[in-house]
Amino acid sequence: MPARRLALLLALLASCLALGPAGAQVAGRSKYADLVRAELVAQEGAVAPGAPLTAGVRLTMKPGWHVYWRNPGDSGLPPEIAWTLPAGFAAGAVEWPAPERIPVGDLMNFGYEGEVLLTVPLTVPEAVGPGPVSLRAKVSYLVCERECVPGEASLSLALPVAPAGTSPRPDPRTAPLFAQGRERLPVPAPWPVRMSEGGANPVLTLDAPGLRARDVAFFPYSETALEHAAPQTATSDAAGLHLRLQRSSQAAPDAPAPRADGVLTLTEETASGPVRRAYALGEAAPAPAPAAAAAPASPAPAAPAIGMGEAEGLWQAALLAFLGGLLLNLMPCVFPVLSIKVLSLVRHSGESPGRVRLHGLAYAAGVLATFLGLASVLIALRAGGAQIGWGFQLQSPLVVAGLAYGLLAMGLSLSGVWHLGGRAAALGDGLTRRAGLEGSFFTGVLATVVATPCTAPFMGAAVGYGLTQGAGVALAVFAALGLGLALPFALLAAWPALLRRLPRPGAWMETLKGLLAFPLYLTVAWLVWVLSQQVGPTGLMAGLTGLVLVGFGAWAIERGRAAGDVGRRGAQVAARVAAILALLGLAGLMAVLDRDRAGPVAMASADGIEPFSQARLDGLLAAHRPVFVNMTAAWCITCQVNDRATLRADAVQAAFKARDVAQLKGDWTNQNPEITRVLEANGRSGVPLYLLYDGRGGVAVLPQILTESIVRDALAALPATAGPRAALR
């Protein structure tokens, strides 16, 4: 995440925390009571069976405040509309009016000030019962000035049913409002449009000879293609209009030119005077395809759709989270840490049963405290407008490097290079026992932190449900997840008789302890690989040098501890100085590491896989082509196993080609708001997520653990018309 965006998110978090614990209640205070006034309106005065119906959400902002476009720019969150419609009705995609450029400090936001009408086409079934017809919509938004306030509104509208054989007429009360709204909608550009290569400055060209324009601005659909705050310089010549842009700093130097998918606004000088125009450019439609935001065909948090009450939905989500937490214990990122703790329990097996149970309780407390802490931070940042999900902390190179350093220090201790807690014995038996319980607590903390790259079965739907139902429900779901992770170790500690079935403590434990260091070293190697996806060469060298400093500090501390009586004080002082220097070196390296962020790696097209963008997905769906979307991350072990063991298999790739299925891969290793939105639209807060669009408006959510048969069966279930020939018709 760029430093300026991180600073803004922290400011948003601070402002939201200052407003109160519940963002939904903030509008109740007088200072924030009238920031946004929301209203549900309809263009037609009545509902006619089988006839189109146009609804709209009208947002009126207090002067100086703004809401956001579908691509909010450098910060923010677009409004979202959740519909509750009668049986047989269906809502299409939001038709977004052309936005404005809204500077906020060094950032550039895209959005609306004053008033905006977000229109949505509704499909009406051929048979409609007697009226009135009730339309309901829940609107969530983020409104900002210098501070940002999240809000929501529950809206409703009742419309009569038109007499049989008649067509509904426009409602005279709303006709002017919808007429003004249509004038702000972008229309397809009447000229050819192209984006030319230009290194850091690609050029958008309209082949429009004689066009005289000023106040030109381009709003890309993609949130990561261009620098939003960079100047956009327009020039005109006999060939047309040329707009010089600036490539995003996150883009790889050798990446192709950004796609010309977005909205272009300009003021055209005509014979009758200046006219403000907005054009939709590129392959994508002005709004995302309805299928992209459709309710997922999976056990996602769509409680009202399946007739489930909120309490029942919470219990189901908590059960799924608990089962997911149990399975986390078997994940490769967690198992090495737990095996070390089980070894420590064997060492404590000679203590009283009550003492052993305390170790289990301390471990469980560490797990629960960390889960609830992570959940609280995640909820607060999302309330402030940050588009993040489960595992968000691993999108930071500093967190990844810090984990690698901590696990390396643990591994070196197991290998005998140094001894953690070696001085505790000299402080008395009571302090030794207290340190032991603290060790169990922090083992729970570490197990939770290293579990975040893993998404076990059942977890995705449960966590996604929790994060969409408010802070209280989210904390309950995360607590159930923590209980599942903590339960096996806590049970082992609760029944010390089980420990007596294990071999007695002895020399074999030293050998096993040394062997257990190597899974930790393997985890460190994996974290370094993740780091290599997030930073450039300079940052990677800084991260590797930090590993050397950790090893040096551990060696120096142990040398000081093992020094004899002669010169012992001098050796200890030298060890402390060396350790302090190593820590200072680490701090300096971490600063360098965070500044050298890598841009997204251009994906090779030889294997038929394209990088995900919402605009590309919209274009493929508009062409009625089936699409497989793979949302993944380098730090997601489940994702990597699925990718290598299943998705890259020859039989699976052959099945994709046989059905002419386009493949899009979204890399969430670094923060990407477009990917986060797709996750949220499908009831998920983290990766992996696998979506299979059939090209005819349907979408299936595949399981988080994939097999070749699962993928092939899903492809075989695609409509018979999907395929190479059908795609050309």
pLDDT digits (tens, 9 = 90+) for 630-656: 998 887 777 888 888 899 898 999 999
3-state secondary structure of 549: helix
What pLDDT is recorded for position 55?
96
Q: What is the pLDDT of residue 604?
A: 44
Percent of the chain with pLDDT over 90: 22
Query: Helix axis angle, 507-534 relative to 397-414, nearest 10°?
Result: 160
Summarised one tens digit per residue, pLDDT across range 503-528 is 565 666 677 677 777 877 888 888 88
Angle at the Cα of 65 from the Cα atoms of 59 and 66, rounded to 5 degrees = 55
Of residues 365 and 686, the one with the higher pLDDT is 365
Helices (H) and strands (E) in the chain, counts: 19, 23
The pair of three-digit structure tokens given for residue 291, joined into one six-digit string:
């299928």
User: Sign of the C-alpha dihedral, residues 407, 413, 417, 421?
Assistant: positive
CA distance to 211, 268, 386, 462, 671, per residue, from 237 (Å): 9, 15, 42, 57, 39
SS3 state at 96? coil
At 434, is the pLDDT very low, low, confident or very high (cuts 50, 70, 90)? very low
Q: Which residue has the higher pLDDT, 442 or 612?
A: 612
Q: What is the pLDDT of residue 581?
A: 85
pLDDT of residue 448: 73
pLDDT of 345 reads 61
User: Is 90 exceeded by the pLDDT of residue 361?
Assistant: no
* CA dist., res. 676 & res. 605, Å (int): 24
137: helix, strand or coil: strand
Dihedral sign for Cα 614, 616, 621, 627, please. Answer: negative
Average pLDDT value for residue range 120-132: 88
- At 433 the pLDDT is 37
Cα-flanking dihedrals φ and ψ of residue 262, to 5°? 165, -160
DSSP percent split of the chain into helix, strand, coil, nearest 5 = 45, 20, 35
- Could you give the angle at the alpha carbon of 415 between the alpha carbons of 413 and 421, nearest 5°? 20
Which of 669, 657, 355 has the alpha carbon at shortest distance from 531? Answer: 669
Q: Does residue 9 surpass a pLDDT of 60?
A: no
What are the two backbone dihedrals, phi and then psi, of residue 173, each rounded to the nearest 5 degrees? Answer: -75, -30
* Residues composing the chain: 729
Q: Residue 613's closest CA among 559, 556, 674?
A: 674
pLDDT of residue 260: 87
Can you give the pLDDT at residue 463? Answer: 64
Mean pLDDT of 720-724: 54
What is the secondary structure of 142-206 as a DSSP string? EEESSSEEEEEEEEEEEEPBPPTT-PPPBPTTTHHHHHHHHHHS-EE-SS-EEEE--TTS-EEEE
The answer to whether 279 touches 189, Cβ cutoff 8 Å, is yes
Phi-psi region of 642 (alpha: psi -120 to 50; beta: other; left: phi over 0): alpha
CB 61 within 8 A of CB 115: yes
Under a CB-based contact definition with an 8 Å cutoff, are residues 278 and 264 in contact?
Answer: yes
Q: pLDDT band for 365, please (50, 70, 90 cuts).
A: confident
Q: What is the DSSP letter of 665?
A: E
pLDDT at 250: 66
pLDDT for 667 equals 86
pLDDT reported for residue 587: 79
Per-residue pLDDT, averaged over 368-388, amounts to 70
In the predicted model, what is the mean pLDDT of residues 156-180?
Answer: 87
Residue 19: which pLDDT band, with cuts at 50, 70 and 90?
A: very low
Confidence grade of residue 293 (pLDDT, cut at 50, 70, 90): very low
Considering only the C-alpha atoms of the chain, give the largest distance between any 2 of them, rounded to a whole number of Å.
Answer: 106
Segment of 152-156, 327-331, 527-531, 610-614 carrying the highest mean pLDDT? 152-156
- C-alpha to C-alpha distance for 389 and 47, rounded to whole angstroms: 40
Q: What is the pLDDT, as a whole number, of residue 264?
A: 95
Res. 3 pLDDT band, cuts 50 70 90: very low
Cβ neighbours around 720 below 10 Å, total = 6
**How confident is the model at residue 40, as a pLDDT?**
96
The pLDDT, as a whole number, for residue 685 is 67
Angle 530-258-392 from CA coordinates, rounded to 5°: 30
> Which residues make beta-bridge pairs with 53?
122
Question: What letter represents residue 262's amino acid?
Answer: G
Q: Are 115 and 104 in contact (CB under 8 A)?
A: no
What pLDDT score does 411 carry? Answer: 80
Task: Please give the average per-residue pLDDT across 234-261, as a whole number.
Answer: 81
pLDDT band at 342 (very low <50, low <70, confident <90, very high): low
Q: What average pLDDT is seen over the chain?
A: 76
Coil vs helix vs strand at 529? helix
CA proximity to 44, closest of 142, 212, 216, 173: 173
* Pairwise pLDDT comparison (531 vs 461), residue with the higher score: 531
Residue 606: its pLDDT value, please? 46
Residue 171: strand pairing partners: none
End-to-end CA distance of the chain: 43
DSSP 420: T
Could you give the 3-state DSSP secondary structure of residue 84? strand
Confidence at 20, pLDDT banded by 50, 70, 90 = very low
Tokens of 370: 């960390």
Q: What's the rounded mean pLDDT across residues 101-107?
A: 86
Strand arrangement of the beta sheet that strand 115-123 belongs to? 36-42, 53-61, 115-123, 90-91
Closest to 537 measured CA to CA, from 595, 584, 604, 586: 595
Tell whether the model's pLDDT for residue 703 goes beyond 60. Answer: yes
pLDDT at 265: 95
What's the pLDDT at 501? 63
Mean pLDDT of 550-575: 73
CA atoms of 442 and 366, how far apart (whole Å)? 6
- Whether pLDDT at 187 is above 60: yes
Query: Whose CA is closest to 229, among 143, 103, 113, 144?
Result: 103
